[in-house]
Amino acid sequence: MSKRPELSQMRRSNWSLRIVAAILSALAFVGFWQAASGAPRNAPTPTPTPGEFAPPTPGSGGVLPPGSFGAPHGGTHVS
């Protein structure tokens, strides 16, 4: 009779550990994903400051600063 509560307690303890481990794993995965993607999903919407467009390196795949790209093939303007 006395072993039943202990077994039950151990099972509960095991389950608690499993749940904690699962939560930690999930958090670790989210952290890894955020670090890998560079885009934290739950971060507040960033408020950029004017002039913010990096990296300013031609060919980097980013926005090209004026003077770095010569004559463009086309231009977009208020239409």
Partner 1 sequence: MTRLLSRHLRGMNTEFHLTVRAEETSGAEAERALEASAVWLGEVERTCSRFLPKSELCALNASAGSPFTASADLYAVVALAIAMAARTGGLFDPTILPALLAAGYTRSFDEIGQREIGVATSVATSWHSGRWRDVALDATTRTITLPAGVALDLGGVAKGWAADEVAHRFLRAFPAYLIDLGGDLRAHGEPEPGKGWIIGVEDPRAAPGPGAPDRAEEPRYLAGVELRDSGVATSGSARRWWLRAGRRMSHLIDPRSGQPVERPAGERALLACTALAPSAMEADIYAKVAFLRGYPAGLATLPAGIAGLCVFADGTLATLPGLETYLRAQRQAHD
CB 70 within 8 A of CB 64: no
User: Using the rule CB under 8 A, is 53 a contact of partner 1?
Assistant: yes
Per-residue contact flags (x/-) with partner 1 for residues 13 to 32, judged by CB under 8 A: --------------------
Stretch that binds partner 1, among 1-9, 10-18, 19-27, 41-49 (CB under 8 A): 41-49
Q: How far apart are CA 19 and CA 39, in angstroms?
A: 27
Can you tell me which of 16, 20, 46, 57 binds partner 1, judged by CB under 8 A? 46
Does 42 bind partner 1 (CB under 8 A)? Our answer is no
The most distant pair of C-alpha atoms in the chain lies apart, rounded to whole Å, by 88
In three-state secondary structure terms, 38 is coil
